[in-house]
Amino acid sequence: MIHTYDTQIHYSRDMNGETVTCFRLDTKVSTYFFAASDAKFLLHGYYGSRAGQDDLSFLLHLDVYPHTVKSNLREKGVIMGAYGFEYPCHGIGDYREACLMIEDKAGMTTCDFRYVSHEVMKGKPKLSQKDFDVIPATFEGENSCETLKVTLQDSHTDLTLELYYSVFEELDVITRSARLVNGSGNPVTIRRIFSTCVDYDESDFEMITLNGSWGRERVIERYPLRHGKQLVDSICGESSAQSNPFAALVRPGTDEEQGEAYGFNLVYSGNFTIEAQVAQQHKTRLVAGIHDYDFAWVLEPDYDFWAPECVITYSASGLGTMSRNFHDLYRGNLIRSKYVREERPILINNWEATFFDFDTEKLLSIARESAKLGIEMLVMDDGWFGRRENDDSSLGDWKVNEEKLLGGLKYLVDEVNKLGMKFGIWFEPEMVSLDSELFRAHPDWAIQVPGRELTLRRNQFVLDFSRKDVRDYVYGMMTAVLRSANIEYVKWDMNRSLTEVGSALLPARQQREVWHRYVLGVYDLMNRLTTDFPDILLENCSSGGARFDPGMLYFSPQIWTSDNTDAVERLKIQMGTSLCYPPSAMGAHVSVSPSQAVGRATPFATRGDVAMAGTFGYELDVTEMSEEDLAAVPKQIETYKKYRHLVLNGDYYRLSYHMCDAKWNAWEFVAKDRSEALVTVVQVMSRANSPAVMIKPRGLDPEAMYLVEEVGSAFSGETLMNCGLRVDLWGDFVSKRYHLVIV
Ligand code: DGJ
């Protein structure tokens, strides 16, 4: 609910006062409050647990400070460092992180945007700017929202700034974004434009971030704030495996069940920064947005620029609620694929089974065996095009290698379809190999600094997706393949980050735009693909999970979580990912043991149970499996089919996390109507003389009786949640599942 009102504040030190225009955003459990002061600064007042229906203008502290701009202009500089701001501008005395820095026609970088007007609207506007139609963002979908637009003006440059606050009341979510419009008649250069700023009056917070590397994506890190800046960021052109555009500020002691948690997640897939800064007076500022490292954007007259959306959620009941808020928002209001709520096909991907060494017969042998087992789709991974026998060549030459795929692609797909299976295909659209027809014909199509040596990674370069002609050409090749056979799934991979960032088409003064133009170009192509082929299920991927972010989720309901398919490593990766992304979006496959990533041996059943916490599939050679494992597959598939509606649409709870010194890792899916739940427990590190542990399910109906199918007895939800399920496992890496159904 959005409520705006004007009120009069009386200073305590004299009889004067000022009129402020207040903005109050209420969700189920939170209140966000800010106001435009008499001097038209947009001051932040409060964000936290829901306030009563009082006038909250006292939270601006205008009445107690000795200085306000209205009452004491001679101390404006002091004031700027003391107050909270909604969107701080660079250069006017607030030495904390600013959201905006603009270089004007005189080369000056100071800006000062003041409140002009506001408007409340139902739903929320689309993010779209000249030349780029689609910028991913949440939309009014399953959950409704309303939006407050606040317009500000910098009188010196005549630029207009629009701040958008969309309130998803039921989900305790507020999304924020900013749009800069140049109506001035002169070009300006944006040096920094962040998406959000939240100021807190205190600093007793811990910051949670998701960090890692290839094969170890999104591992949870948590550390107390201290004076100075702490941040999570990426400057490699993608959201990256090393960090994720997510951060939470939590109170010390906050755990899964209790305590305050503020979650921030940027709907963006390129360079980003999320910074928490503890400044003087022990106040905390959190800012988030496109990284300003090597960034500049020339905003021509009559052009606009949208800073990507930042999703913010507040939970007064721990990290579990914070995560479920994100999950519900993303499933209901971000992922626009028609498959978001649909049961996805159980797939088998040939990558870890064959790598590049396959042909039609090999793929068909995998498909025949898979069909018998109940697997629903074959995905042909890297190696089907050009002369691609290893990762040295052919990216960009998206023509079927008919020496490898004898009979052609259509023959293969038809044969797979005849087995009752769907067919999916792999692309890496953003890339070009050094050894490729495309690069030989168009060397200038790679992102580059002309005259400098181009840095290779995996023997490949990044195509200049800031260019429409390059995107069009790649799209032409892709669609020719997609139209040539009954292809129902695409895996969109991206296997290197950007270097020598420059574009042959842009003038010198616009070269710093390339990082962001590249990301917008990727979005443009994904938009075209998903619009022109709405029935194709798109799965994103980037060397595993290096681009697992809300920007990608907008286009694809599932993302390959990591190249590390070891079940034990996946526990960490999937739990970290679940902090803000729904399990239904996590591609998770059963692969061989010992794991190709870490050499660890794990039971087949455990690999299955861990993969069932996401979008389930297989990634091994079914023609070479042991009889025992092979025999287990149909049952595993039947089990996933029984529970996949819970993974797709249920509430997710992290019950126990072995990184936090528990020997168990346990999680639970609960149906929205609480009629059933699935609890899975994996013992990671068994200990001698360590009695069975009681795992306490969450989210059940306390009054209802639940049959625990595996135990054969029924207990009340109250007993199960308070006393727990007794779990006794023998050995390392073994797992158990418990299905709880209301009787
Ligand atoms: C990286 C992906 O994460 C893998 O699943 C696989 O598709 C390879 N690329 C293919 O090159």
Predicted confidence (pLDDT) per residue in 406-415, tens digit: 999 999 999 9
- Tell me if 619 CB under 6 Å of ligand 1: no
CB 724 within 8 A of CB 703: no
| pLDDT exceeds cutoff 90 at 207 | yes
Q: In the CATH scheme, what is the code of domain 2-333?
A: 2.70.98.60
Pocket test for ligand 1, best of 358, 426, 539, 547 (most atoms within 8 A of CB): 426
**Section 100-126 average pLDDT:** 97
**Does position 99 have pLDDT exceeding 80, yes or no?**
yes
Which protein residue's CA is at the shortest distance from atom 3 of ligand 1?
A: 544
Residue 452 three-state SS: coil
Q: Is the CB of 426 under 6 A from ligand 1?
A: yes
Is the Cβ–Cβ distance between 348 and 379 less than 8 Å? yes
Q: Which atom of ligand 1 sits closest to the CA of residue 560? A: 3
Tell me the residue ranges of DSSP E strands in 328-440.
347-349, 377-380, 422-427, 431-433
The ligand 1 atom at the shortest distance from the C-alpha of residue 351 is 6
pLDDT tens profile 619-635: 999 999 999 999 999 99
| Chain centroid offset of residue 591 CA | 25
Give distance in angstroms: CA of 100 to centre of ligand 1.
38
Query: What pLDDT shows up at residue 392?
Result: 97
pLDDT-based confidence at residue 281 (cuts at 50, 70, 90): confident
* DSSP 8-state assignment for residue 287: E
Residue range 102-117: average pLDDT?
Answer: 97
Using one digit for the tens of pLDDT, what is the confidence trace for 338-351? 999 999 999 999 99
Binned at pLDDT 50, 70 and 90, residue 686 comes out as: confident
Ligand 1 centroid, distance to 458 Cα (angstroms):
12
Copy the structure tokens of residue 34.
């800010």
Least confidently predicted of 18-22, 205-209, 425-429, 522-526: 18-22
Taking CA atoms only, the protein residue closest to ligand 1 atom 11 is: 382
Kindly indicate the confidence band of residue 63, based on its pLDDT and cuts at 50, 70 and 90: confident
The residue written with tokens 């190709």 in the block is 596
C-alpha 382 to ligand 1 mean position (Å) = 7
- Mutation probe of ligand 1 site: the residue of 240, 490, 495 with most atoms within 8 A of C-beta: 495
| pLDDT confidence of residue 150 | 98
Architecture of domain 656-742: Sandwich (2.60)
Nearest to 691 by CA among 720, 724, 718, 739: 724
Say what the pLDDT of residue 661 is: 61
Q: What is the pLDDT of residue 688?
A: 85
Query: SS3 for 319?
Result: helix
Q: What is the reported pLDDT for 14?
A: 65
CA distance 152 to 112: 9
Query: For 682-695, what is the mean pLDDT?
Result: 86
Residue nearest to atom 10 of ligand 1 (CA): 382
pLDDT band at residue 689, thresholds of 50, 70 and 90?
confident
Question: Is the pTM here over 0.95, yes or no?
Answer: yes
Structure tokens of 68? Answer: 């306000």
495 lines ligand 1 (CB under 6 A): yes
433 close to ligand 1 (CB < 6 Angstrom): no
d(CA 666, CA 695): 8
Distance CA 743, CA 351 (A): 44
The answer on pLDDT for 618 being more than 70 is yes
Q: Which of 104, 493, 566, 621 is catalytic?
A: 493
Sorted by where each begins, the domain ranges of the chain are: 2-333, 656-742
Residue 674 carries which side chain, given as an amino acid letter? R
Q: Ligand 1 pocket, 206 CB below 6 A?
A: no
Q: Which residues contact 381 (CB under 8 A, 6 or more apart)?
A: 349, 350, 351, 426, 491
Q: Is the pLDDT of residue 286 over 60?
A: yes
Instruction: Identify the band that residue 690 occupies on the pLDDT scale cut at 50, 70 and 90.
Output: confident
CA of 620 to the centre of ligand 1 (A): 14
Predicted confidence (pLDDT) at residue 364 exceeds the cutoff of 70: yes
pLDDT, tens only, 8-49: 988 776 667 889 999 999 999 999 999 999 999 999 999 999
Q: What is the DSSP-derived secondary structure letter of residue 622? A: G
**Is residue 66 predicted with pLDDT exceeding 60?**
no
- Pocket lining: 351 vs ligand 1, CB cutoff 6 Å: yes
For a substitution probing ligand 1, which of 216, 541, 559 has the most ligand atoms within 8 Å of its CB? 541
Residue 706's Cα: distance from chain center in Å?
35
% of the chain with per-residue pLDDT over 70: 98
Atom of ligand 1 nearest to the CA of 349: 5
> Burial, 6: exposed, middle or buried (Cβ in 10 Å; 0-12, 13-18, 19+)?
exposed
Beta-strand runs (E) in 367-417? 377-380
> Rounded mean pLDDT of 424-446?
98
Q: How confident is the model at residue 604 (pLDDT cuts 50, 70, 90)?
A: very high
Residue 541 alpha carbon to ligand 1 centre in Å = 7
- Atom index in ligand 1 nearest the CA of residue 426 equals 7
Same fold, 2-333 and 656-742: no
Across the range 108-137, mean pLDDT stands at: 96
Ligand 1 atom 1: residue of nearest CA: 543
Mean pLDDT of the residues in the chain = 96
Residue 660 has pLDDT above 70, yes or no: no
Does the pLDDT at position 558 exceed 90? yes
Cβ of 349 closer than 6 Å to ligand 1, yes or no, is no
Tokens describing residue 715 = 């207990």
Token readout for 200 is: 């807190």
Residue 703: count other Cβ atoms within 10 Å of its Cβ: 9
Measure 525 CA to ligand 1 centroid, in angstroms: 20
545-565 core/surface letters (b: 16 or more CB in 10 A; e: else): bbbbbbbbbbbbbbbbbbbbb
Q: What is the pLDDT of residue 243?
A: 98
Question: Has residue 451 got a pLDDT over 60?
Answer: yes
- Closest atom of ligand 1 to 491 CA is 7
What is the C-alpha separation between 305 and 517, in angstroms, rounded?
11
Annotated catalytic, 54? no
Which of 493, 559, 586, 619 to probe ligand 1 with, by most ligand atoms within 8 A of CB?
493
Report the distance separating Cα 198 and Cα 43, nearest Å.
10
Q: Please state the rounded mean pLDDT for residues 133-146.
A: 97
Could you tell me the distance, in angstroms and rounded to a whole number, from the CA of residue 544 to the centre of ligand 1? 6
Strands (E), 201-283: 206-211, 219-224, 228-234, 243-250, 261-266, 272-278
Q: Is the CB of 560 under 6 A from ligand 1?
A: yes
Interatomic CA distance for residues 413 and 431, integer angstroms: 25
Q: What is the pLDDT of residues 578-589, one digit of tens each?
A: 999 999 999 999
- Active site residue: 26, 524, 563, 566, which one? 563
Of ligand 1's atoms, which has the minimum distance to the CA of residue 544? 3
Closest-lying ligand 1 atom to the alpha carbon of residue 381: 7
Q: Which of 566, 616, 614 is nearest to 593 (CA)?
A: 566
- pLDDT value at position 13? 65
Q: What is the pLDDT of residue 105?
A: 93
Q: How far is the CA of 428 from the centre of ligand 1 (A)?
A: 9
- Residue recorded with tokens 């018998």: 372
Centre of ligand 1 to C-alpha 493, Å, is 7
Counting atoms of ligand 1 from 1, which one is nearest the CA of 619? 5
DSSP 419-432: TT-EEEEEE-TTEE
What element of type H or E holds 167? strand 159-168
Ligand 1 pocket residue status of 352, Cβ below 6 Å: no
Q: Is 493 part of the annotated catalytic residue set?
A: yes
Strand, coil or helix: what is 207?
Answer: strand
pLDDT at 333 > cutoff 90: yes
pLDDT at 82: 87
